[in-house]
Amino acid sequence: MSNWYVITGGPSSGKTTTVNLLHERGYATTVEHARHYIDLQRIEGRSVEEVRGR
Which residue range(s) make up the domain with 49?
1-54
Distance, in Å, from the CA atom of 34 to the CA atom of 8, rounded to the nearest integer, reads: 13
pTM for the full predicted model: 0.62
Number of domains in the chain: 1
Distance, in Å, from the CA atom of 12 to the CA atom of 2, rounded to the nearest integer, reads: 29
Residue with more model confidence, 38 or 2: 38
Coil, strand or helix at 50: helix
Q: What integer pLDDT is reported at residue 54 of this predicted model?
A: 61
Q: What integer pLDDT is reported at residue 15 of this predicted model?
A: 92
Contact 8, 16 (CB under 8 A): no
Q: What integer pLDDT is reported at residue 24 of this predicted model?
A: 97
Distance, in Å, from the CA atom of 54 to the CA atom of 51, rounded to the nearest integer, reads: 8
The per-residue pLDDT for range 9-50, each reduced to its tens digit, is 998 999 999 999 999 999 999 888 888 888 999 999 999 888
Closest CA to 32 of 47, 50, 11: 11
